[in-house]
Structure 1
Amino acid sequence: MFCIKKRLTLFVLAFSIFLSTFSIASASEIRAVATFPILADLVKQVGKERVKVVSIVPLGADPHTWEATPADAKNVASADILFSNGLGFELWLERLIENVAQADLPIIVLSEGLKARPGASHDPHSHHEGDPHFWLNVQFAMEYVRNIERALSEIDPDGAGVYQKNAEEYLNQLQELDNWLISQIKSIPEENRRIITYHDGFGYLAERYGLSVEGFLVTNPDREPTALEMAKLTDMMKKFSRKVIFVEPQISSSHRYANALAKEVSGKISVLYSDTLTEEVPSYIDMMRFNGNSLVEALR
């Protein structure tokens, strides 16, 4: 009996030490919140085991129309650092920060310092004008990664060397991705490098990789296309040798209108990711490779 009690005591003691160690390790983790999954993935690649990353917008959801939940408020309230895109992309974020964020919470706007291409801002009341979808150009995503590395190093100086190493390794992967995308698009006949998308979000992708966005159904995914806009696109697409409309997985209305347009011109539907990730396409690199393959399959 004494032997059993002794073993039990030792087990409890060992388990207590384990829990204590686990708690210390957990407490030392940087708690980072990113506004949507693409940014969350970039932060994970730099932070790895030192950073616990939570995305406010979940996989497969639309960041444009997201409505913050009590769970989102709890995550922001307990965050050590918050990463956003900026340029009017996350219209719902300002109120969330005002209501629950700690006064000294570092808020890192990853697009800061980048020059936006002309385009409709997602914020009708913003003083900024331009397209916020910088990450669809891999070179700009690399700037995001550099900004993430600097921000994490500033709030966690002990991990600066780790963040720098992780960022360098990931930047090498992104440069390979960028080179691959360039070669993929070059394999498409030049006259076929014209695309129609659901919303005005692919300008950076087109500029970097040699495509031309000939039209889109809506400037902002918050609204739906008018009959006049549909008619103009129908007339335009009838002149294309490759009659393809690219929809986005997170915008359900895009499929309905794109199907109607494709039927009218005897065209087809393909998918391009812009603002979200999914279980099938769970990382930024996966997303951009999916887009490259989708473009080649549809246009070559």
Structure 2
Amino acid sequence: MHKHQLTHAIVGLCAVSTLLVGCGGHAAADYTPSTSNNTIDVVATTPIIADLAQHVAGDRAHVTSLMPPGSDPHSFEPGLRSVRNIANADIVFTNGLLLEQQSLLKTAAESRLEHVPLIALAEESPRHGAQLIPLVENIALDTVWLGMRIGGTGEQLGAQRTSGVRVQLTHLDGPGAAAAYVTSTFGVPEVLFNTRDGINRDDSTTLPVDAHTHVSWAFSAPGVYELTFNATLDTPSGMKDVGTQKITIAVGVDPHSATALANPTVVDGGHIDITADLDQQKILIRGDAPTGTNTSYDYDPDSTVIFVPSTVLQQIPGDPTFRFLGNAGDETYLLPQAVLGKHVHGEVDPHLWHSVKNTIAMVRVIQDELTNIDQAGRTYYRDQADAYVDELSRLDTWMRERINTIPSSRRHLVTTHDGYAYLGKEYDINVAGFVTPNPAIEPSPRDVIALTRTLENLHVPAVFLEPKLAGRAGVLSETAARLAVDVCTIRSDTLDEHVTNYIDLMRTNTTELVRCLANDNDKKGK
């Protein structure tokens, strides 16, 4: 069945998609084929992937990006237009590795016709030589870093790639209210659980299979809190129960004596996740081993206490968006998420495109998959891909030459977003740290000291913020000004009106790195 015979498919989507609020009378995507009615329709989730696909597809396809320029792949939610575009697609390309929101991936899986390929480029790229980097997270914190995780594959329960796991808070015993939330890049909280107004079905969050997220936790009074969670897996045959478990958290009190547990295991540092394990079908506490290493370790929740010290006590911010915690100025025990931003991810860094060699591998995957659905275009796609790979190879050489002009003693990258590991590894740049300015909650004095010492000890000449954050006043800009450190821009996940294609993205970032990190003489005229 060709895409131009799919008008009736939209009618069915209205009945099954929870994302739609209504359906219009025009099912076709908004485009005019550039060659003939046999032009294939390619859908890509992000502008970067769409640009790569267009270079390979050329005139044999129309390429649509679901996300508009400037949007954040980590938070973009699909709407009616996305569903229509996917329903008319002959092939759908995603980044994968949990870069995109689960809701977008689920929409892509459910809205396309059954025979239409859904290709995760980052996950397929190793077959053409891409090198993936595991996510290694910084656990150098004064307190425990408490997140949430989905473990296991869930195959025996019928889990699929787009399945979600709903984790719900069902009961709380404790001396006060408890809340959990994530904070967006601009400091706006999204509440996951909040017992201040009672407990209901809204006190829940849904995560993809094999994902985890960073969470801020707030407790209104000192004492022992027992939080009971239930997890259920969404499968094609219905919801499957994963398990129910009580988690004990000691806030501002002695964790050894304040609970009824005999000789409890106390977790007071490192990266720890409340984990719904699909294969074991139970909820447990998974994280760093008691030795303090990065070795994964499972703690028995029935004999474990998570400790939140009194040092996290602070006033509730004046921003009205934090009213769910209580009145401005009141005190709360706040265990903050370790990174700023609603950031659900898996075990592998999904930002492959910051290595041009990895991008070349993604281009070859696109070539393979377009050829699979359009055999008549085999030679055309090969020639298109070869020409683009030549361009990318020249870009890679140029980047190496330019970055090598930065003295190694100044080749340190401090950013606001932990998405540049591939850039650092591929081009010999030391990713010295992540700066995450939060306009809602001021960094602690210790945070400011740590930032200051990093910039001073490494003699960092500049820090890098994404364009939307670069002009914002805050502790980072004040610290940078005090130390005569430049604030420069770097782009990560998307294109915009100033940088409209992938090659421009990489050239712009390279030019800014050289301009800001090279010595004073090199910076002039660049």
How high is the TM-score relative to the length of structure 1?
0.84
Please tell me the residue identity of whatever aligns with 2:107. Answer: L
Shift of 1:27: 2.2
Residues 238-264 of structure 1: CA distance to partner in whole angstroms, max 9, x if unpaired?
223333111113x54894554344235
| Structure 1 position 94 matched with structure 2 position 105 | yes
Residues 38-72 of structure 1: CA distance to partner in whole angstroms, max 9, x if unpaired?
11100011011111111111111111111112111
The corresponding residue for 1:147 is 365
Kept after mapping to 2: 8 A contact 1:248/1:274:
yes
Please tell me the residue identity of whatever aligns with 1:174. Answer: L
Residues 132-159 of structure 1: CA distance to partner in whole angstroms, max 9, x if unpaired?
1111000000000000000001101111
Shift of 1:180: 0.6
The corresponding residue for 1:116 is 132
Kept after mapping to 1: 8 A contact 2:92/2:108:
no
Q: Higher strand proportion, which one?
A: 2
The 10-residue stretch of structure 1 (93-102 or 181-190) with the greater mean CA deviation from structure 2:
93-102
Cα distance in structure 2, aligned partners of 1:224 and 1:39: 35
Provide the secondary structure at the position in 2 that maps to 1:276.
coil
Cα distance in structure 2, aligned partners of 1:102 and 1:229: 50
Taking a change above 3 Å as real, the CA distance of residues 124 and 164 of structure 1, as seen in their structure-2 partners, is farther
Aligned residues: 275
The corresponding residue for 1:16 is none
The 10-residue stretch of structure 1 (162-171 or 66-75) with the greater mean CA deviation from structure 2:
66-75
Cα distance in structure 1, aligned partners of 2:79 and 2:136: 27
Superposed CA RMSD in Å reads 2.6
Taking a change above 3 Å as real, the CA distance of residues 248 and 168 of structure 1, as seen in their structure-2 partners, is same
| Structure 1 position 105 matched with structure 2 position 126 | no
* Structure 1 residues without counterparts, runs of 5 or longer: 1-21
Taking a change above 3 Å as real, the CA distance of residues 108 and 98 of structure 1, as seen in their structure-2 partners, is closer
| Structure 1 position 52 matched with structure 2 position 68 | no
* Structure 2 residues without counterparts, runs of 5 or longer: 1-31, 138-147, 151-208, 211-345, 519-526
Shift of 1:116: 2.4
2:430 equivalent among 188, 200, 212: 212
Kept after mapping to 2: 8 A contact 1:243/1:265:
no
How high is the TM-score relative to the length of structure 2?
0.49
| Structure 1 position 285 matched with structure 2 position 489 | no
| Structure 1 position 40 matched with structure 2 position 50 | yes
The corresponding residue for 2:348 is 130
2:480 equivalent among 262, 270, 273: 262
Taking a change above 3 Å as real, the CA distance of residues 56 and 254 of structure 1, as seen in their structure-2 partners, is farther
Provide the secondary structure at the position in 1 that maps to 2:394.
helix
The corresponding residue for 1:15 is none
Cα distance in structure 2, aligned partners of 1:259 and 1:24: 48
Residues 49-97 of structure 1: CA distance to partner in whole angstroms, max 9, x if unpaired?
1111111111111111111121111111111111111111012322212
The 10-residue stretch of structure 1 (170-179 or 124-133) with the greater mean CA deviation from structure 2:
124-133
Residues 272-299 of structure 1: CA distance to partner in whole angstroms, max 9, x if unpaired?
1111111211111111111111010001
Taking a change above 3 Å as real, the CA distance of residues 233 and 166 of structure 1, as seen in their structure-2 partners, is same
Q: How does 1:171-182 map to 2 (within 5 A)?
A: 171-182=389-400
The corresponding residue for 1:83 is 93
Taking a change above 3 Å as real, the CA distance of residues 53 and 231 of structure 1, as seen in their structure-2 partners, is farther
The corresponding residue for 1:158 is 376
Cα distance in structure 1, aligned partners of 2:34 and 2:394: 38
Q: Higher helix proportion, which one?
A: 1
Shift of 1:234: 2.6
Taking a change above 3 Å as real, the CA distance of residues 74 and 93 of structure 1, as seen in their structure-2 partners, is same
The corresponding residue for 1:70 is 80
Residues 6-38 of structure 1: CA distance to partner in whole angstroms, max 9, x if unpaired?
xxxxxxxxxxxxxxxx87944211111111111
Cα distance in structure 1, aligned partners of 2:497 and 2:33: 30
| Structure 1 position 198 matched with structure 2 position 416 | yes
Please tell me the residue identity of whatever aligns with 1:206. Answer: G
State the identity as a percent. Answer: 33
Taking a change above 3 Å as real, the CA distance of residues 144 and 255 of structure 1, as seen in their structure-2 partners, is farther
Q: Quick check: which has more Rg, 1 or 2?
A: 2
